[in-house]
C-alpha cells in the first residue's frame, strides 16, 4: 500500500481477528505524526467510522501532503475492560507530488 501525497483516502482496516465493537472504548490509527481516533467515550469525537465489521480511516489532502517518503503506521485498541492491544508497526511509501496546493 503506497499513499500518494495530496490524495484523499478512506482506508479500510479489516482486522484479522474479529472483535466485538461493543467492547471497544477507543482505537487509535497512527501514520507517522498523523493520529486518527475511533472512540465511544462520552465527550470525545471520532474521525474514524466503524461499518460492516471494518474501521474506515479518512486522510485529508493536507494530511497526505505532510507525509514523508517513508510512512510508519500502527493501530492500538483499548477495550472497555482496560486491556490494550497493538498491531505490528508496518512501513509503506508516500509517493511524491509536485503540486503542493490543496484543491
Q: How many CA atoms lie within 13 A of 96 on its CB side?
A: 2
Residue 29 is predicted with a pLDDT of 97
- Residue 16 confidence (pLDDT) above 80: no
- The pLDDT mean for the chain works out to 94
- Residue 1 confidence (pLDDT) above 90: no
Q: What is the mean pLDDT of residues 1-23?
A: 90
CATH number of 3-95: 2.60.40
Coil, strand or helix: which one is 61? helix
Q: What is the mean pLDDT of residues 81-98?
A: 95
Q: Band of the pLDDT at 11, cuts 50, 70, 90?
A: very high
Alpha-carbon distance of 88 to 73, in angstroms, equals: 9
Query: Radius of gyration over alpha carbons of the chain, in Å?
Result: 14
Q: What is the mean pLDDT of residues 36-52?
A: 92
Amino acid at each position: 500500500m503506497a499513499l500518494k501525497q495530496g490524495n484523499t483516502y478512506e482506508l479500510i482496516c479489516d482486522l484479522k481477528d474479529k472483535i466485538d465493537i461493543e467492547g471497544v472504548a477507543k482505537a487509535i490509527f497512527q501514520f507517522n505524526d498523523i493520529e486518527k481516533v475511533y472512540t465511544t467515550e462520552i465527550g470525545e469525537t471520532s474521525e474514524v467510522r466503524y461499518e460492516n465489521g471494518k474501521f474506515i480511516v479518512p486522510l485529508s489532502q493536507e494530511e497526505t501532503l505532510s507525509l514523508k517518503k517513508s510512512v510508519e503506521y500502527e493501530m492500538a485498541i483499548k477495550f472497555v475492560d482496560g486491556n490494550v492491544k497493538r498491531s505490528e508497526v508496518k512501513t509503506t511509501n508516500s509517493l511524491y507530488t509536485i503540486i503542493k496546493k490543496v484543491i
